[in-house]
Amino acid sequence: MNETTAARHSILIRSAVPGDIAAITRIYAFAVKNGTATFEIEPPDDAEMVRRQKALLDDGYPYLVAEHDGLIAGYAHAGAYRTRPAYRWCVEDSIYIAPEYHRQGIGYALLMRLIAEAETRGFRQMIAVIGDSAQAASIAVHARTGFAHIGTLRSVGFKHGRWLDTVLMQRPLGRGDRTPP
């Protein structure tokens, strides 16, 4: 599956390419400056985002964009949940949507495709580390795609003048833990 279209919105879900970095950086910078989905405080520049994207792609992780009328509406990627070797079958997802495209089903479409891509690569668990327990839309889209709430870390981040929780959700991929990898 190389391309997916979210029918309701004529959104094309495709693999990200280096030419998408400017839009990805803009979307992420907005989230860093204005939101609590990420606990990063200063937005990284294009060069840093290129480095991050390249590292994920070089390690075989899926990195996707949602495109609407030639514009990048959002992006998603999976990466290592932890770096120690025993965790290699577990990934963490990240999804960011441009503010003008919020609540249009794009996060759902990206997450569904990300799950499928992670499964085809043999990963067995996906973890969502959701910044801020007030991120109701993110929690809901993860629940809708089969994630279970596994815990909340209380007041572990401080951003925009307040303490923030981290919500942990988990979803098995493929055969999950029923068989060895």
**pLDDT tops 50 at residue 1:** no
Assess contact for 90 and 81: CB atoms under 8 A. yes
Assess contact for 130 and 167: CB atoms under 8 A. yes
Mean pLDDT of the chain: 94
Can you give the pLDDT at residue 7? 41
pTM assigned to the model? 0.93
pLDDT tier at 9 (50, 70, 90 boundaries)? low
CA dist 5 → 1, 9, 90, 151 (Å): 11, 8, 27, 33
Q: Which burial class, exposed, middle or buried, applies to 167 when counting CB atoms under 10 A from its CB (0-12, 13-18, 19+)?
A: buried
Structure tokens at 178: 């029923």
Can you give the pLDDT at residue 10? 87
Can you give the pLDDT at residue 23? 98
Half-sphere exposure of 163 (CA within 13 A, CB side): 5
Structural domains of the chain, ranges and CATH numbers in brackets: 3-172 (3.40.630.30)
Can you give the pLDDT at residue 2? 42
What is the rounded CA–CA span in Å between residue 127 and residue 66?
21
pLDDT tier at 52 (50, 70, 90 boundaries)? very high
pLDDT in tens, 93-137: 999 999 999 999 999 999 999 999 999 999 999 999 999 999 999
Tell me the DSSP string of 70-92: TEEEEEEEEEES-SSGGGTTEEE
The gap from C-alpha 87 to its chain's centroid, in whole angstroms, comes to: 18
Structure tokens at 42: 């200063």
